[in-house]
Amino acid sequence: MPPDTPATSSLRRYTLTAVKLAVSILLLALLFRQVDVENLWVSARQASLPWLLAALVVYLINVLAGTWRWHLLLAAQGIRVRGQTLLGSFLVALFFNNFLPSNIGGDVIRIRDTARPAGSKTLATTVVLVDRALGLMALVLVAAFSATLVAGSRRAAMPIWPSWLWAGFLIGAAASAPAVLSPAGFGRLLQPLTVFHPEWVGERIEKLTSVLSRFRDRPVALAACFSGAIFVQATIVVYYFIVAYALHMQVTFWDLAVIVPLSFVVQMLPVSLNGFGVREATFAAYFRGIGQPIESAVLMSLVAAAGVMLFSLSGAGVWFARGHH
């Protein structure tokens, strides 16, 4: 197979973006066919502006907690970066995640901004990946715990079984535990990858093993980071709950604590443009299962997403300020 040329790579990227955009438009079109758009717009205009502003304050707390969590992981590796610098990088990453056709762009920013103080791009990348993994586990844990509470208080069947969520959490924990508990053994499992490029891949595996060993030797930092990840997921649920309250919707906090984390997990699938369409379809499916109108699901999802995008514009300010310096 001939190597990719820049033109071929660009064509593939643009094609993938076009496919994602088509999926998002198709899903949104199908959803909007099931709702009264005029009533949707009227409901949006009746939203409480003070409560929407309160939701943005909660989202700020969420961002600060996420930055603190990242700082903990870096400090566990002996990497010292000013909190203000990390916050700026986090905001720029948030902006890229919301306005680029991929949520990977933000991670690239975070890795780039910490690679120099870390002295290694592999080290900076591993820290971000561990942060992502802990966040994903916290997402599933919050959803599983909340689904269990909801199932215990509701006679009707849940749209998703709590046992599935607990199984997903336990499988993820079991799969990731060897990487932290036995870094050397995890490194040996990766050795077959050296067939592609023995020297380059071997150096990365050695660096990865060293990073994981330092995390293993600092369990308190990892535990604090995971607790921070749970707090981050809890605050994003609070953000959605306040948005729902501002829109005068009758949906419980615990139902949102199930569907909001699930919607974030679904958005990780690379099938849509920044989760649009897929996120709204996930909310609609869950709301239908608990007897709530689809209009409420679509409206809350879009308004909450718009709030996040509005907040992320602060990252654009940081990005352009960096350019001037």
pTM of the model: 0.90
Amino acid symbol at 178: P
Tokens of 276: 């649009």
H or E segment at 24? helix 6-32
- Give the phi and the psi of residue 218 in degrees, each rounded to 5: -130, 65
Tokens read off for 288: 């239908």
Least Cα distance to 115 among 105, 125, 103, 104 occurs for: 125
> What are the φ and ψ backbone dihedral angles of 180, each rounded to 5 degrees?
-95, -40
pLDDT for 89: 94
> Along the 325 residues of the chain, how does pLDDT read in single tens digits?
445 566 677 787 788 888 888 988 999 999 988 888 888 888 888 999 999 999 999 999 999 999 999 999 999 999 999 989 999 999 999 999 888 776 667 889 999 999 999 888 888 998 999 999 999 999 999 999 999 988 877 655 667 788 889 999 999 888 888 888 888 888 888 888 887 777 887 888 888 888 888 888 888 988 999 999 999 999 999 999 999 999 999 899 999 999 999 999 888 888 888 888 899 999 999 998 888 889 999 999 999 999 999 999 999 999 988 874 5
Task: Report the distance separating Cα 261 and Cα 237, nearest Å.
Answer: 8
**pLDDT given at position 5:** 65
Q: How many residues does the chain have?
A: 325
Are 73 and 123 spatial neighbours (Cβ–Cβ below 8 Å)? no
What pLDDT was estimated at residue 128?
93
197 phi and psi angles, rounded to 5 deg: -160, 90
pLDDT at residue 1, rounded to an integer: 43
CB 305 within 8 A of CB 53: no
